[in-house]
Structure 1
Amino acid sequence: MLDPRGVLRLDPLRAWRFVAGKVSALGAVTSPPYDVLEPAIVRRLTDSDLHNMVRLILPRDPDLGPARYNEPAHRLAGWQRDGVVVQDEQPALYVYEQRLGSAVLCGLVGLLRLDPTRQVVLPHEEVMPHWVDDRLQLMEATDADLEPILLAYADGGAASDAVDAARSGEPWVEAETYNGAEHRIWRIDDPEVLETIELELAKHEAVIADGHHRYAAYLERQLREPYRQTAEVGLAMLVDYIRHPLTLDPIHRVVPGLDLMTVQSRTPAGWQMQPGRVEGDPDRISVTDGSSWLTLHTESEVPTVALLHEVLFPAWGVVEDDLSFHHTLSDALALAGPQQLAVELAAPRMDQVLRSAAQGVVLPQKATSFGPKPRVGLLFRTL
């Protein structure tokens, strides 16, 4: 066995899953990740099944403070007691495939060996401390990792061959979600195949594509429980983005207290400003009050999201704690007004993200939205 320190490693686990006969449908109890859940989606998921994972990953009643995490902990314990969820009998790595039209997510789910030194598990964006604390409190209350983080690496070789070979067999779990996506899971438990995967992954490093706050919570949990072996790992999905490409989308901002006049008068020299929303420019930043648009552009190799936070926001006098973040432009536009601008961004290029991560440079919080994202609830882990 390889020394896990300083190498990329994904260990097998005995995953938990829902029992089909105990819920309305396997797809009906799943959820998108917590940080993309808009209120309308939460209502739909809450109504879909009494056991939907949103009831665990998005604790309600924030006025209760830390006590709000007791509800999902008690709920999970009840599901375990009643046999609504069961644990796999033998440890395995799990191949997870999600198909929606032409979009395919495919990779390995297992227990990621944590890397506090950032040698092989590379973050690419900053985190917000309150969300790290939120995820950590949920992890501690439930003693579980309910949502896999998503990591990307390149040219997986024998490990990717093992993933594709597993997909030629009968799935262990199948589900379909309300959006029409098809989900399939296979198990890899053959010792020789697992060793082949381990040896291959040890040659690589991986970038955190989605789940920076959960990964930061994993690291904090490890610091708090240094003698607990199960705290040395966290639930993760690892994707070879060369063989199974990921999409890369922007996350838009809404800025309270900002108006178009301030943008026009206080934008630093060197930025081009055009009235209207100029499309087709991968390096543009467009702002709107809901009726008028202004598009900004400057020549730089730095991703526009970094320039927005490091150059424009200070020039405009923006207090970053007041920002809200939105995965869809329509959600941001719905909040735009004369004193509250929506900021539309273009996605950073993949090479920019990878180069930044490899150099140890992180982008601002919520800089990117990688996809497709693994569905929550098909596999989870208890400590």
Structure 2
Amino acid sequence: MPRQPLALAPFRGLRYTALDVGKILDSPEHDFARLLAPPYDIPGPEEARALLRSDPHNATHITRPYQLNITMPGDRPGTPARSVYESAAAHLRAWIGDGVLALDPDPALYVYEQVTAAGTRQRGVIGALELPSASTSGPVRPHEEVGRAPVLDRVRLMARTHANLEPIFLLYPGADGATTRITEAAEERGRLLVDTRTADGTRHRLWSLTDPSIHAQIASDLARRSALIADGHHRYAAYQRMHEHSDEPGWSHGLAYLVDSDAHPPTLGAIHRVVPGLTTREAAEAVRSVARVERVPGGSLADAEMALWKAEHPALLLAGPEGDHHLVHDVDQARLAEAAATHSEAYRELPTAALHHVLLPLWNRSDRDVRMVHDEAAEAVEVARREGGTAVIVPPLRVEQVYAVAERGDLTPRKSTSFGPKPRTGLVMRVLP
């Protein structure tokens, strides 16, 4: 099967007019960053509600439609209720009609830079990713399993809004190629559109590259490369579904943010689990038959996390809201190999593999029964307290582990990785004609 080149096409970006640099400089008292949002699947319910309250035009209103009101301002009494996806589309159309959002005049590739409060700098290029046809192999490799329901959710949102509202996040080894050299020189080669800072202290800058000769250089450089999905597996699967089942030519592409991992090595955080209705003591006792379980003395979550980091992988931490912490390691390899027989050895070395194939079945749970909490172990413990359950603290994977699984054509269990910094939603969107 022939291989399709990695290609990012220029497009006319849909952007918040309030984020334009000139308007920010003219109105320094306004915090326009409040219009932006994390990727749709990151905020928990409370944070999502706070984002919705922060501004009537915050991007969450269109990316998290299940949080939306099902009526629009101005609806007459008796107006039939909209579906949540139709409501998102109505918001999008209204914002465009009111001039809150506007299309850029010329097709562009966009250079996007994030500099976190800790000083981490990441810069890459945003474009319309060409999707593979049924007769070609694609240049983009997933590394994580997806769930049918989240993919269907994104498909329905894209179909109703006729848009890609936020980019997927891709990594590739750029080796100082032309794309990297061009993005690193965006100050000289592009036009600065956005320069703002979000509440977490991260500075976000966006440039447009409209010169066709620059587009040609990037196309030539990327054609021979491949990319790994860092974030956005469900959206990429939704892109593919739209491409396969729609006759509209616009769905042959999907919005993507491509970062050279050689120039900007990503951070890799953990995604913890919360098992509702299962006490830490019950969870630990059930696991003793298949692994070593050691109670961590002292009751400090910080001490327990330190024990987890020092343990040999795969290892996990069962953390209770009352300081009842248990380290789980040396999972029965024969049992794991049998349960994950169709997977590679690299896969079976992942802590999430032991959790998915051995521990959850012992607790009579599936991965669909648990809550996901990104990065913060203390937040996972707090969720466990509220839900009368156990937090399973998962150590972050190493980047080389992810590449090793993907190179073998394997997929990690769902929600095994949290690459960062993640692109902020709302800086640039793509709408189909």
TM-score, normalisation: structure 1:
0.92
Equivalent of 2:83 in 63, 67, 89: 67
What is the count of residue pairs matched by the alignment?
379
Counterpart for residue 250 of structure 2 = 230
- After the TM superposition, which of the residue ranges 360-369 and 148-157 deviates more from structure 2? 148-157
Q: Deviations over 1:330-355 (max 9, x none)?
A: 22111325962110000111111011
Where do 1:226-265 residues align within 5 Å?
227-265=247-285
Say which is worse superposed, 66-75 or 80-89, in terms of deviation: 66-75
Structure 1's 262 and 44: CA in aligned 2 closer, same or farther, altered over 3 A? closer
Report percent identity of matched pairs.
36
Pick aligned residue for 2:170 from 141, 151, 163 = 151
CA contact (8 A) 2:15 2:428 kept: yes
- Say which of 369, 373, 376 aligns to 1:326: 373
In the other structure, the counterpart of 1:107 is: 124
Q: Which residue of 2 aligns with 1:11?
A: 9
2:321 is aligned with 1:290: yes
Query: Which range is displaced more, 54-63 or 182-191?
Result: 54-63
Residue 420 of structure 2 is matched in structure 1 by 371
Return the offset for 1:222. Answer: 1.1
Shift of 1:194: 1.3
Determine the structure 1 residue equivalent to 2:384: 336
Matches within 5 A, 1:131-280: 131-156=150-175, 157-168=177-188, 171-225=192-246, 227-267=247-287, 271-276=291-296, 277=304, 278-280=307-309
* 1:204 positional shift: 1.1
**Tell me, which stretches of 5 or more residues in structure 2 are unaligned?**
71-80, 297-303, 334-345
Deviation at 1:33, TM superposition (A): 0.7
**Corresponding residue for residue 86 of structure 1:** 102
Residues 289-322 of structure 1: per-residue CA shift (max 9 Å, x gap): 3220110123885111122112222233223321
Q: Distance in 1 between matches of 2:100 and 2:383?
A: 40
Cα 1:15–1:218 shift into 2, 3 Å: same
Query: Which secondary structure state, in structure 2, belongs to the residue aligned with residue 45 of structure 1?
Result: helix
User: Is the CA contact (8 Å cut-off) linking 1:105 and 1:374 kept in structure 2?
Assistant: no
Query: How large is the Cα RMSD of the aligned pairs?
Result: 2.4
User: Matched residues in 1 for 2:181 and 2:67: separation?
Assistant: 46
Equivalent residues of 1:258, 1:318 under 8 A apart: no
Q: 1:347 aligns with which of 396, 403, 412?
A: 396
TM-score (norm 2): 0.82
AA of the residue aligned to 2:293: M
Indicate conservation of the 8 Å contact 2:273/2:371, yes or no: yes
Gaps of 5+ in 1: none
Aligned partners of 1:126 and 1:365 also within 8 Å: yes
Cα distance in 2, alignment partners of residues 371 and 44 from structure 1: 22
2:37 equivalent to 1:31: yes
Equivalent position SS for 1:139: helix
Larger radius of gyration: 2
- Decide whether the 8 Å contact of 2:126 with 2:258 is kept in 1: yes
